Amino acid sequence: MLKRLLRNRKGTAEVIGTIMFIVILLFFFTNVYLWHDVATKDANELYLKKMNSSFGITSNAGNITVTADGGSDIVLSRLWIVDDAANKYFYADLGNVHVAAGGSFNITFPVSVTLPDGSIQVNYTPIYPDKCTVINTLGIAESTTFQP
């Protein structure tokens, strides 16, 4: 009886096809799970970087001072100036300025020159109190009202 069962080839293709289908599904869903796991880890890492990259800006005596308050360094990307009186927007690329954790960086007006101490001067002279916003490379923005 066992010999007759082993010699009978009916249904072999269906069994092998089903096993192959299950292996393919297992491979597919394993890859989807691993992709999701990596994407979640990357998103959590970016969120953690954003939490640790806080900074504050203050306006004093014609300067804007950016201070890295968080536990990690920040990289400044752009300065936006909103001139409400003229209804205009100005921006200056800060050239990915690196500010160490706990350190500060000065932005002064009105000449466009990079100074030896690393501070940047912007070619714009505010006349009225304008809103200035500094954005870092992670997309975090902080604003202050600039008093000329």
Residue 89 sits in a domain whose CATH number is: 2.60.40.1260
Q: Judge if 62 and 41 occupy the same domain.
A: no
Q: pLDDT digit string (tens) for 118-129?
A: 666 666 666 665
Q: Judge if 102 and 117 occupy the same domain.
A: yes
- For range 72-84, the mean pLDDT: 81
Q: Judge if 74 and 129 occupy the same domain.
A: yes
Quote the pLDDT of residue 40: 92
Q: Judge if 30 and 101 occupy the same domain.
A: no
Quote the pLDDT of residue 18: 93
Greater model confidence, 124 or 42: 42
DSSP classification of residue 14 = H
Quote the pLDDT of residue 27: 96
Q: Judge if 40 and 77 occupy the same domain.
A: no
Q: pLDDT digit string (tens) for 10-39?
A: 778 888 899 999 999 999 999 999 999 999
Quote the pLDDT of residue 111: 47
Q: Judge if 80 and 100 occupy the same domain.
A: yes
**Domain range for 75:** 54-146
**How does 122-143 read in b/e, with b if 16+ C-beta sit within 10 Å?**
bebebeeebebebbbbeebebe
Q: Judge if 141 and 84 occupy the same domain.
A: yes
Quote the pLDDT of residue 147: 63
Q: Judge if 68 and 37 occupy the same domain.
A: no
The pTM score is 0.58
**Count of CB atoms situated within 10 Å of the CB of 60:** 11
Q: pLDDT digit string (tens) for 81-119?
A: 787 777 777 777 777 788 888 888 887 766 444 555 566
For the chain, the domain total comes to: 2
In DSSP notation, 78-94 reads EEEEEETTTTEEEEEEE
DSSP classification of residue 109 = -
Greater model confidence, 145 or 16: 16
